[in-house]
Structure 1
Amino acid sequence: MPSLNPAIAEVRRAVRAALTGLPSGGTVLVALSGGADSLALAAATAFEAPKLGMRAASVTVDHGLQAGSDEVALAAARAAAELGLDPLVVRVEVGSAGGPEAAAREARYGALRDAARDAGAAAVLLGHTLDDQAESVLLGLARGAGATSLGGMTPERIDDVSGVRWLRPLLEVRRATTAAACAAAGLEPWLDPHNTDDRYRRVRVRERVLPVLEAELGPGVAEALARTAEQLREDARAFDDMIAETIEDIVEPAEAGIAISVAALAANPPALRHRIIRHVVRSEFHESLTRVQTLEVARLVTDYTGQGPIDLPGCRARRVGRLIEFSAGAGDA
């Protein structure tokens, strides 16, 4: 009996580990673009999910941004059906808010959330690889992002709004491995022209920056960046635990929102103080603050000279006596 191709085996192991523990009898959805990463993920899920008593399906989102995108989506759906997945194609309208990449991503995740809700899915599987993680860390460094952003993508996350469970089984798998798995299985991935369009920062990182780093610093840069992201996520979890122990003692209800004790915030070191502020806004208003916004709120504690309310995404912060009050209804700061 011929041995299993190593690339196929690696992808299957990663998927099996991600699916283990999900409820038997449930449905898992694969976000399938037709590219090598998602196609290798779909093939491995089609093999592993039934062994764990799960139904596997795929969702292909047609953004309608390229000529022939409908044919690409249908080809991905046909490939999914041949693998034994139940395929679904969803056409979305992409807006312009935040730029083309952000708008397409928002439309795509919205479609995936809707599909997961309609299917009662236990999880949605995304095809991000170790290379994607390394690129995300470099892009975060270029933005001057904080430790949370540099922690990159998480292997598992529960959507704050919809409750959808996002799984990324391939975050420790190289892109070359998914391509090799497709070749070994006789699968023909779609080559997205956007992945070679250097108008996009991620493409420039992929095609220019990482190869230079590998050439100048030696092999293993991508793996090192991914390890850095993992270590930062561990730190973030530790901070989150500290916040969970602290938060109930220092917050209280406020009109149309929530308030935090000024004295308690002042007593905490800056790193914890800033995380508490971001945590409150994220948990109450489902928005993320930039570092500049976080520091402006912190000044209401550490450098208060009577300044007025601060408009933030989804809310407004102001100092009211001994409290920092966050209330709903601000503009898109």
Structure 2
Amino acid sequence: MAVSGGPDSLALLLLAHAALPGRIAVASVDHGLRAEAAGEVAMVEALCAERGIPFTALAVEVPRGNLQSRAREARYEALARWVREQGCGALATAHHADDQAETLLMRLARGSGLAGLAGVRAHGHVPGSEILLVRPLLSWRKRDLETVVAAAGIEPARDPSNEDEAFDRVRVRRHLAQHDWLDPQALAESAGHLAEAWRAIEWYAQLDFEEMVHREDVPDGPAYRYYANVPRAIQVETVRRIVAELGGQVSRAEAGRAADRLWRFENASLGGVLAVPGSERLEKIGLEVRVWRFRPEPPRRVH
């Protein structure tokens, strides 16, 4: 599991050690961004040594750019390597109900689609890998996790960036604290309901791909024919899947714009793939249905 030395991850360490004694290992990441980080890693190491928990210190370099995003990418990359080296079954992180509420509000403010509004998932994969990622504390409030750490007589580390209002998450956290009618637990539960709805869409999209998408071998390589007669949310997922099968990669926003063009019977180009709309009459059901054909874009001519 990943333990930073903050109250949330220390609570995860304590709870996991109580529930699964002898079956956990801990890694702590120093991003090289704060002088205090090395001491925090050493503190986690000492706590693990007291409890006989295997511990590994990881150091990463954070590239220039969006600080929090780049740090997250570097952290997960290092943790994924560590999980493989240790032979662990999964990576656990300490995301909790307050994190979930903050994430939901931030994504609502950005106009996110259902996949984003589903928030932080209880189960998933470490970004860029096949490693299982679990978040067992999503039903816990932050204050309860802090109580667990205090009861153990441990003084957790405090990251000053958690107080820096230059970051959107900090401003949202302050807003939640100032308005008691916004219940983080209820917001987290709403994110859970949205996650259930998203799983239903993923299931339907898999079925749509299996039943309504047909591969065709043409002289210049593989192509796909898609009978696109489902709600837009499903179309978007299927279009993304088809583009991926043809070696491309597109966001949901890009796939949505392409689906809108195709629905208007306009060609669409995305991720190196050309999509052409049309229609066919299916005699079996006696209806005219939309058919979208996908193939790799031909090379551009250079004059």
Matches within 5 A, 1:7-86: 30-50=1-21, 55-86=23-54
**In 2: Cα distance, 1:84 partner to 1:254 partner:** 58
Pair 150,306 (structure 1): closer, same or farther in 2 beyond 3 Å: closer
Q: 1:244 aligns with which of 171, 195, 206?
A: 206
| Structure 1 gap ranges (5+) | 1-29
Aligned to 1:235: 197
Pair 64,285 (structure 1): closer, same or farther in 2 beyond 3 Å: farther
Aligned to 2:106: 139
Matches within 5 A, 1:169-318: 169-207=136-174, 209-214=175-180, 218=181, 221-249=183-211, 250-252=213-215, 259-262=223-226, 264-265=227-228, 267-280=229-242, 289-291=251-253, 293-306=254-267, 309-310=269-270, 315-318=271-274
Q: 2:133 aligns with which of 147, 166, 171?
A: 166
Amino acid across the alignment from 1:37: D
**In 2: Cα distance, 1:190 partner to 1:79 partner:** 13
C-alpha displacement of 1:282: 6.5
**In 2: Cα distance, 1:302 partner to 1:258 partner:** 23
* Contact map agreement 2:267 2:274 (CA 8 A) in 1: no
**In 1: Cα distance, 2:41 partner to 2:257 partner:** 45
**In 2: Cα distance, 1:39 partner to 1:131 partner:** 16
**In 1: Cα distance, 2:120 partner to 2:37 partner:** 27
**In 2: Cα distance, 1:286 partner to 1:318 partner:** 11
**In 1: Cα distance, 2:221 partner to 2:145 partner:** 46
Aligned to 1:151: 118
* Contact map agreement 1:251 1:258 (CA 8 A) in 2: no
Pair 118,193 (structure 1): closer, same or farther in 2 beyond 3 Å: same
Pair 170,285 (structure 1): closer, same or farther in 2 beyond 3 Å: farther
C-alpha displacement of 1:297: 1.7
What stretches of structure 1 move > 4 A for 4+ residues in a row?
A: 253-260, 279-288
**In 2: Cα distance, 1:171 partner to 1:117 partner:** 25
C-alpha displacement of 1:33: 0.3
Tell me the secondary structure at the aligned position of residue 205 of structure 1. Answer: helix
Q: What is the TM-score when the length of structure 2 is the normalising length?
A: 0.84
Aligned to 1:9: none
Pair 72,157 (structure 1): closer, same or farther in 2 beyond 3 Å: same
Amino acid across the alignment from 1:108: R
C-alpha displacement of 1:77: 1.7
C-alpha displacement of 1:160: 7.0
Pair 33,123 (structure 1): closer, same or farther in 2 beyond 3 Å: same
**Structure with the greater relative contact order (CA < 8 A, sep ≥ 6): 1 or 2?**
1
Pair 276,36 (structure 1): closer, same or farther in 2 beyond 3 Å: same
Pair 242,184 (structure 1): closer, same or farther in 2 beyond 3 Å: same
* Contact map agreement 1:92 1:111 (CA 8 A) in 2: yes
Aligned to 1:90: 58
Q: Which has the larger radius of gyration?
A: 2
Offset from partner CA, 1:146-188 (integer Å, 9 cap, x none): 0110100111113474221111010000000110000001111
**In 2: Cα distance, 1:288 partner to 1:83 partner:** 46
C-alpha displacement of 1:260: 4.2
**In 2: Cα distance, 1:228 partner to 1:45 partner:** 26
Pair 80,325 (structure 1): closer, same or farther in 2 beyond 3 Å: farther
Q: What is the TM-score when the length of structure 1 is the normalising length?
A: 0.77
- Indicate the percent of aligned positions where both proteins have the same amino acid: 31
* Contact map agreement 2:31 2:71 (CA 8 A) in 1: yes
